[in-house]
Amino acid sequence: MKVLRRFAMPYKGYMIGAVLANMLSAVLNVFSFMSIMPMLNMLFGMDTAAYEYQPWQWDGLKDIAVNNLYYYTSLLIGSFGRQTALLLIGLFLVVTTFLKTFCYFISSAVMVPLRTGIVRDIRIMVYDKVLHLPLAFVTDERRGDIIARMSGDVTEVETSVTSSLDMLIKNPILIIFYFATLIFISWQLTLFTLLVIPLLGWIMGAIGRKLKAKSLYAQSKWSETMSQLDEMLGGLRIIKAFIAEDKMIARFRRVSNEFRDATNRVAIRQASAHPVSEFLGTCIIVIVLWFGGTLIFSDHSPIDAPTFIFYMVILYSVINPLKELSKASYAIPKGLASMERIDKILKAENPIKEPEHPAQIGGLENKIEFRNVHFTYSNNPQEVIHGIDLCVERGKTIALVGQSGSGKSTLVDLLPRYHDVTAGQILIGGTDVRQLRLHDLRSLIGNVNQEAILFNDTFFNNIAFGVEDATMEQVVEAAKIANAHEFIMQSEQGYDTFVGDRGCRLSGGQRQRISIARAILKNPPILILDEATSALDTESERLVHEALERLMKSRTTIAIAHRLSTIKNADEIFVMHEGRIVEHGTHEQLIELGGYYKHLNDMQQL
């Protein structure tokens, strides 16, 4: 079980405890049955022979053990009488059963931290992996599918694989001890039994071979269900605006029915495990009973009737662990199907590598350079950035303009290494960004995006996000600079007020000013503004512009803008078209040039 080796090693102490407890439980179970048989035989007059104590030795151990058990039983009956001896036998059985069940409880109890720990570890590992994978992975995958893998698939691993750990540890131990006892009683009868039992495993395996594939299909339908739910919640406003409720319900009903049908097929196949194993177990008991009876009826039987009864008791005891193992053989493939889906995340290669010997950088000392930068997305062979060369001097503001799809945001995303360049270099102060630790690189950069991303937390925590040990005074000062302090103080609990999911309790301008306050508090030397005001009304845009002007002072700024009026004062404007820089200069220079920039400017004047 590779899954268990990968995740169970930190909990090997729990597994050792479970093994020891199960071994003790098996020994007590076998010994209790073994000791009762001679007692009952003598107690009810089935055996009237006289027995004497024999010293213990390996040679003839079986006969010595049986003789001494009968010897101690005869002493018990002779000392206390049949009625008291029967009571003592009952008390002995109670004590051994209590010890056996207590050991069984201990073995199950120590497995609980192991099961829950493995599930917790997997969930944290998936979360950690998603956080560290490049943006391209998340954009290529559906969010609902990722959520389904972290919720449904991890839960399936818990219910199918880790819950089977107890059976996988306990049952092999019981089977080994029980079969050792069976061989000890009669090797001839046990050899016949071993020839019959593999039939049980072959039939159960034939039934469960397709379970993993069916489970994989069912989990993919669960992911599709979660994806549609995520789309519905994210696009609820559009759905209502276009009166598309019935269409979305029909889509969801279709995938829900497909998920239900797939789940039914898996559940029905899994439900067949118990009745089939029960039936086959009974068949084995009947076959062994017939063969053992023929041995007893023969003239030179290697086994007597009381011993055969004890043999059948132990054989019946071994059937239950075999049935539980057959259940595990069904549950585990189902969980492994989910583990494959989880592994798609855990084993995803991260192309953004940390340098082995990172360069040290304290800040932006002179300039940012893009040297012959090319970029191609891994899932699309068409190049989107074609040999970009530009330079941003320290303390200057440059702007990137152009139509949607011209590569502006992609180019800017290469600076903090959300993606790595396919060819060329990006340098900060003469150092290639690929030679810097990601933490050091991204600590130099502050972002204010078109969509202000806020978390369902307080104003204080959203502004202080990513800044360790920020004080209330620092947060308030940042909010004042960002023109956010006034509306924060008008909320119910001031800076302790929750902003709602993705800041849903705030207007667009308020969300943007909170994100600006966050950038102000971080105080980065490099600032990236990606359409920071494009979605705002006039009044909100004015307030945000004031905040941005304060934020941009003494910082090196790269601004992306559709509205050319917002970047007229930039030190230099670069015009992009289809992944190339086609013009650059100040606003006035580009207007005089009468090229692509003037065309964009004239269109916005209409």
In whole angstroms, give the CA distance from residue 307 to residue 316. Answer: 14
Tokens of 183: 């061989």
pLDDT 10s digits, 173-209: 888 888 888 888 777 788 877 777 676 666 655 655 5
Tokens of 593: 């040039």
Whether 354 is in a domain gets the answer no
- What's the pLDDT score for residue 369? 92
pLDDT 10s digits, 263-309: 887 777 767 766 776 777 777 778 877 877 777 777 666 676 667 77
CATH number at residue 189: 1.20.1560.10
Q: Which of 346, 377, 408 delimits the end of a domain?
A: 346
Q: Which helix (H) or strand (E) holds 411?
A: helix 408-413
Tokens of 56: 């213990």
Whether 359 is in a domain gets the answer no
Tokens of 518: 């966050």
Whether 313 is in a domain gets the answer yes
Residues 136 and 73 in one domain: yes
Q: Which helix (H) or strand (E) holds 547?
A: helix 538-552
Whether 125 is in a domain gets the answer yes
Residues 60 and 143 in one domain: yes
Residues 324 and 292 in one domain: yes
- Residue 559, pLDDT > 80, answer yes
- What's the pLDDT score for residue 37? 65
In whole angstroms, give the CA distance from residue 238 to residue 54. Answer: 90
Q: Which of the listed ranges 4-13, 52-61, 211-220, 452-461 does the model predict with the highest average pLDDT?
A: 452-461
Shortest CA distance to 422 belongs to which of 437, 436, 407, 404? 407
Residues 292 and 398 in one domain: no
Cα-Cα-Cα-Cα torsion 325, 331, 332, 338, nearest 10 degrees, comes to 180
Whether 355 is in a domain gets the answer no
Q: Which of 346, 379, 394 delimits the end of a domain?
A: 346
Higher pLDDT, 290 or 241: 290
Residues 438 and 557 in one domain: yes
Q: Which of 313, 346, 379 delimits the end of a domain?
A: 346
Do residues 4 and 169 make contact, with C-beta atoms less than 8 angstroms apart? no
Whether 469 is in a domain gets the answer yes
Q: Residue 538's Cα: distance from chain center in Å?
A: 45
- What's the pLDDT score for residue 2? 61
In whole angstroms, give the CA distance from residue 502 to residue 506. Answer: 9
With pLDDT > 90 as the criterion, what percentage of the chain qualifies? 8
Q: Tell me the whole-structure pTM to 2 decimals.
A: 0.70
Residues 301 and 373 in one domain: no
Residues 295 and 202 in one domain: yes
In whole angstroms, give the CA distance from residue 421 to residue 423. Answer: 5
Residue type, 275: P
Confidence label for 435 from pLDDT (cuts 50, 70 and 90): very high
- What's the pLDDT score for residue 594? 86
Do residues 585 and 573 make contact, with C-beta atoms less than 8 angstroms apart? yes
Report the mean per-residue pLDDT for the chain.
79
Confidence label for 327 from pLDDT (cuts 50, 70 and 90): low
What size, in residues, is the chain?
Answer: 606
Mean pLDDT calculated for residue range 417-433: 90
In whole angstroms, give the CA distance from residue 289 to residue 279. Answer: 15
Q: Which residue range is the domain that position 276 belongs to?
A: 2-346
Residues 303 and 185 in one domain: yes
Mean pLDDT calculated for residue range 505-517: 85
Residues 37 and 178 in one domain: yes
Residues 272 and 405 in one domain: no
- Residue 446, pLDDT > 90, answer no
Neighbours of 179 (CB within 10 A): 17
pLDDT 10s digits, 360-377: 887 777 889 999 999 998
Give Cα separations from 269 to 25, 246, 281 (angstroms): 32, 35, 19
Whether 357 is in a domain gets the answer no
CATH number at residue 506: 3.40.50.300
Residues 58 and 146 in one domain: yes
Q: Domain count for the chain, please give it.
A: 2
Long-range Cβ contacts of 544-550 (<8 Å, 24+ apart)? 544/483, 544/509, 544/512, 544/513, 544/516, 546/483, 547/481, 547/482, 547/483, 547/484, 547/513, 547/516, 547/517, 547/520, 548/448, 548/516, 550/481, 550/482, 550/520
pLDDT 10s digits, 339-350: 878 888 888 888
Whether 351 is in a domain gets the answer no
Do residues 193 and 290 make contact, with C-beta atoms less than 8 angstroms apart? no
Residues 538 and 421 in one domain: yes
